[in-house]
Amino acid sequence: MGFRLSHLSLAVSLVALALAGVAIYRNTYDSMIMNNGSPDFDLLETGAVSILTLNNEKRNSDKDNLSQQLTQESCVFSAVKGVVDSAIDNETRMGASLIRLHFHDCFVDGCDGGILLDDINGTFTGEQTSPPNNNSVRGFEVIAQAKQSVIDTCPNISVSCADILAIAARDSLAKLGGQTYTVALGRSDGTTANFTGALTQLPAPSDNLTVQIQKFSDKNFTVREMVALAGAHTVGFARCATVCVSTNVNPAAQLQCNCSATLTDSDLQQLDTTPAVFDKDYYDNLNNNQGIMFSDQVLTGNTTTADFVTTYSNNVSVFLEDFAAAMIKMGNLPTSAGAQLEIRDVCSRVNPTSVASM
């Protein structure tokens, strides 16, 4: 995002320099004609060489700046990837959690890192304790470690926590077998979060198809993109405390949870038959009426959405391509108009100078 502007600025600068060179050359030529009646070609050649030298020096300088920029980006990507890979090696489920964390951040008022802000007792209530997230979203410690890794290994580079969320989700997808994609840097972090927005904007497991389509349409997603993003449920788990609520679950699903037992947050239900692999099994399950969540299975109840489910079930490559494209689009969801933004030093709290604005 921010880097595209630098490329445009570079092009404009080179054009301006070239025009200036032509003007200098022409003025020198005219001066020679007026003073001597004929041009001094040695002098003109010297002037032309000087202009070419300046152009080359400018071009080399710009190349150096671009190379430095790419090196800085590479450092950031490497620092985050190392932390994410290690976290998933330690617990495969973390990959799905990091993809979900990025989704839950961007879907509420844009990609602003708002979900990372901790509550402050008596002062600030953020998104983490809103019902869709409370005791459910996870991976905060991985993002904090990735942020610290960037600080430690990439000095003098300022990268937002929202950017780190986007990189972590992309790297998690690739680690679990999905298709990688390009993450553009340049997001900023919000100085506040939206408890109510998390409750109203995020898709819920009990949402019918009409509600889901509206929520995705509000974020400018097509129905096809909605069905593709639902495919994130091809990895990871749901809490038994969630699926044991009748309105949240597909009545025909073969659950592993014992819903009559005392449940804890650690009791889990896998979301498809291969929860550690990013594949098309989620869509196969839907076609067999074995989607776990009510909101998943209703995708087969409409001709349009059912056709997309079948397309992805029949061709995993199409699904992976569509999912990657939808993730890029989601990662570029803009922040709310008028939002106060910064680059947070610590992802779980705003910078000291911003405290008064909370």
Please list the active-site residues: 104
Task: Return d(Cα 323, Cα 151) in angstroms, integer.
Answer: 31
- For the chain, give the number of residues: 358
Residue 203 among known ligand-binding residues: yes
- Least Cα distance to 243 among 291, 200, 300 occurs for 291
Question: How far, in Å, CA of 265 to CA of 191, rounded?
Answer: 30
152 known member of a binding site: no
- Across the strands, what pairs with 342? 189
105 is in an annotated binding site: yes
**Residue 49 annotated as binding?**
no
- Distances from the Cα of 157 to the Cαs of 73, 154, 343, 345, in angstroms? 9, 6, 11, 12
Query: DSSP states of 45-77 as a string?
Result: HHHHHHHHHHHHHHHHHHHHHHHHHHHHHHHHH
Structure tokens at 257: 């949870």
Beta strands in the chain, from DSSP E residues, in sequence order = 189-190, 237-239, 268-270, 341-342
In terms of Cβ atoms closer than 10 Å to its own Cβ (0-12, 13-18, 19+), residue 161 is buried
Judge whether 321 is annotated as a binding position.
no
Contacts of residue 298, defined as CB under 8 A and 6 or more positions apart, other chains included, come to: 208, 209, 212
Number of Cβ within 10 Å of residue 164's Cβ equals 31
Is 7 annotated as belonging to a binding site?
Answer: no
> Phi/psi of residue 349, each to 5°?
-150, 155
As a whole number of angstroms, the distance between CA 337 and CA 141 comes to 29
* Diameter of the chain measured on Cα atoms: 105
d(CA 63, CA 59): 6
Residue 280's closest CA among 254, 247, 260, 308?
308
Please name the residue ranges forming H helices in the chain.
Answer: 2-36, 41-90, 93-106, 140-153, 161-175, 195-201, 209-218, 223-230, 240-243, 281-287, 294-297, 303-314, 316-331
- Binding site annotation covers 190? no
251 annotated as belonging to a binding site for a ligand: no
Annotated binding site for Ca(2+): 105, 108, 110, 112, 127, 234, 272, 274, 279
Annotated binding site for heme b: 233
Annotated binding site: 105, 108, 110, 112, 127, 203, 233-234, 272, 274, 279
